[in-house]
Chain A
Amino acid sequence: MVAGSCPRVAILGAAATPVGRLAPRYGAIAPGLEHDILAEVAAEAMAVAGVAPAAIDAAIFTQNPPTTRQLGFGTFMMAQLGLQCRGLVTEVGQLGLTGGVAFDLACAQIHLGQAEYALALGVVRQSLGEMSTAMDYGIRAVGDVNFQAPFAVPPIGWYAFDCARYMHEHGVSRAQIAEVAVKSRRHALHNERAQFREPLGLAEVLAQRPIVEPLGLLEVPARADGAICLVVCSEHRARESGRPYVTVAGRGFFHEGYHQIGDTHHDMTAFPAARRAVDQALDAAEVALADIDLAELYAPCTITEILVTEAIGMFARGEGWRAAQEGVTSVGGSCPVNTSGGCLSRGHPPQITGLYGLLELREQLLGCAGKRQVAGARLGLHSCELGNYNATLAHVLEGPR
């Protein structure tokens, strides 16, 4: 996509549940299953967009976590919502990239002319699942099943490797890295969709039990549920509607050809795919990183936010840890990052985290983020990733113009 020469896609409507627990407590009756929860959210998103169900031509669902009992989920949902589509209906995605991929494909439906209006939507309800099932799934997803999985490294274990290496190479302490968790919580205090909204100090973060050393309980994401739907269409249609909307100014993707780590010596914490994808998105939008007013960057652990901000060129290598401590990445700082509270405090329902990040940018760019509003926000950067940032999908969103 080249800025200016190509019509843009707009996000015309959105709705989402708070992130947290959608499963019932033991013995209680569930308010609904995944499809019930998502149906309500999707209907609300269409109402926000002012688009009738009959006008929806495509529905791109995020792949469900293994805890979802209803299979054939996307096609099952079509019957729940009474949708008939001439474009594409499917479930997509892989690991943390999933939400971004659903959005990307919904946008592509508009670009290809296969849809006038498309949905990017998904639901995660994993809080009721067996912890060991979830961990086993995670371990097999992020490592060679015969040569890495037997050592039981969970997804966050790879970020722990990053963290240990970063501390060693740059002489940085766990406490300095943990400032990201404190900053994330400060943002989440003002996000009514956030999973954790109680004030949190550094001492409390450091006092938690270890999970994947050197990271403790509050430096890694908690299990989280959520449901979200975005409605996209051409900017032309969005303008006609008279409703508020944001547009996609640029998009980039890169896969570095590794799965977690390569089998040769290389710089594990450099995240080159993040740099390539973000550069591509900025180029397509014809803007520079310095023009970006805020960023929602996929970062399950404290260290991940530091490494991705360094990788995309926001900070020099080995310097990114200072940003949270000095307020640079806070609302009011020069480059606010994860104003939603991010994976650590807004919460991390993995398959739809990317969609929640895009939703945060939409609200910020429309000026309706309340007490966490970044003043004058016009351009927002979003990333999501899989593996150890082995692949990155980036989008630049622009507010009303």
Chain B
Amino acid sequence: MTLPLVEMGLRRPLPIEVTMVTLPFWEGLQKQQFLVACCSQCARLSFPPRRICPGCHGREFEWRDVSGRGRLYSATKVHGSPSIYGILSPIRVAIVDLEEGLRLVTRLLPEGREPVLDSPVELVITRHPDGFHYAARMAAGSA
């Protein structure tokens, strides 16, 4: 599934340390894919990617791309973030429940719109001057 691409003027908020555990995820973003780890033994999905499956302690994973469709579980707007985060304050952040059963935290776009919990959201890939990242945005037509 190719996810929508959103151009961002600012650098990514923090330097990201890419490791062998997470490399395929970050490479996936460049192809506009959001990859999660699926345990080869018990099929449990993990995000962020890990070395050990928390469900069965399996060590083999396959990468799966998610649809990006989900539901807004909760949201807040954080005022006064530390300047080192390089992002404009205030920032809206969300807890997103993906239709594949995963839950994650990410930035919520657009900044100007009041979020309505339980309404549909979609993951987007964001392109910054220093690389790719991701965010969620309220799906078109949602309340």
Q: Could you tell me which A residues sit within 8 Å of B by CB distance?
A: 131-133, 135-136, 139, 143-154, 157, 160-165, 168, 209-214, 257, 261-266, 268
Q: Is the CB of A262 within 8 A of B48?
A: no
Known: A153-B93, A264-B101. A132 touches B79 (CB 8 A): no
Known: A150-B13, A263-B104, A268-B95. A161 touches B83 (CB 8 A): no
Q: Is the CB of A152 within 8 A of B16?
A: no
Q: Is the CB of B133 within 8 A of A135?
A: no
Q: How far is the CA of A255 from the CA of B69 in the complex (A)?
A: 31
Q: How far is the CA of A160 from the CA of B13 in the complex (A)?
A: 21
Given contacts A145-B17, A153-B78, A264-B102, 17 further A-B pairs with CB under 8 A are A132-B84, A147-B47, A150-B13, A151-B93, A152-B13, A153-B93, A157-B76, A157-B78, A160-B78, A161-B75, A164-B74, A213-B76, A213-B77, A257-B54, A261-B95, A261-B103, A266-B103
Known: A132-B82, A152-B91, A265-B97. A146 touches B16 (CB 8 A): yes
Q: How far is the CA of A165 from the CA of B85 in the complex (A)?
A: 26
Contact of B73 among A139, A150, A209, A268 (CB under 8 A): A268
Measured between beta carbons, the chain A residues less than 8 angstroms from B54 are 257
Most B CB contacts (10 A, CB to CB) among A147, A152, A165, A213 go to A152
B118 at the interface (CB under 8 A from A): yes
21 pairs of residues in contact across A and B, judged by CB atoms under 8 Å: A131-B80, A132-B83, A146-B16, A146-B22, A149-B14, A150-B16, A151-B93, A152-B91, A152-B93, A153-B105, A160-B76, A160-B78, A164-B74, A164-B117, A210-B79, A213-B90, A214-B76, A257-B54, A263-B46, A263-B102, A268-B73
Q: Is the CB of B12 within 8 A of A150?
A: yes
Q: Quick one: closest B residue to A213, CB to CB?
A: B77
Q: How far is the CA of A262 from the CA of B45 in the complex (A)?
A: 12
Known: A151-B91, A161-B75. A135 touches B101 (CB 8 A): no
Q: How far is the CA of A257 from the CA of B55 in the complex (A)?
A: 11
Q: How far apart are B37's CB and chain A's nearest CB, in angstroms?
A: 10
B81 at the interface (CB under 8 A from A): yes
Q: Is the CB of B79 within 8 A of A209?
A: yes
Measured between beta carbons, the chain A residues less than 8 angstroms from B104 are 147, 263
Measured between beta carbons, the chain A residues less than 8 angstroms from B67 are none
Q: Is the CB of B103 within 8 A of A151?
A: no
Q: Is the CB of B74 within 8 A of A264?
A: no
Q: How far is the CA of A148 from the CA of B77 in the complex (A)?
A: 15
Q: Is the CB of B105 within 8 A of A154?
A: no
Measured between beta carbons, the chain A residues less than 8 angstroms from B78 are 152-154, 157, 160, 212
Q: Quick one: closest B residue to A216, CB to CB?
A: B79
Q: How far apart are A99's CB and chain B's nearest CB, in angstroms?
A: 26
Measured between beta carbons, the chain A residues less than 8 angstroms from B81 are 135, 152, 154
The proximity string for B residues 99-129 relative to A, scoring 1 for CB distances below 8 Å and 0 otherwise, is: 0011111110000000001100000000000
Q: Is the CB of B133 within 8 A of A150?
A: yes
Q: How far is the CA of A211 from the CA of B79 in the complex (A)?
A: 5
Q: How far apart are B130's CB and chain A's nearest CB, in angstroms?
A: 12
Q: How far is the CA of A210 from the CA of B101 in the complex (A)?
A: 32
Q: How far apart are A141's CB and chain B's nearest CB, in angstroms?
A: 13
Measured between beta carbons, the chain A residues less than 8 angstroms from B97 are 265
Known: A161-B75, A213-B76. A265 touches B22 (CB 8 A): no
Q: Is the CB of B133 within 8 A of A136?
A: no
Q: How far is the CA of A291 from the CA of B50 in the complex (A)?
A: 45
B87 at the interface (CB under 8 A from A): yes
Most B CB contacts (10 A, CB to CB) among A160, A210, A213 go to A213
CB within 8 Å of A: which B46-61 residues: 46-48, 54
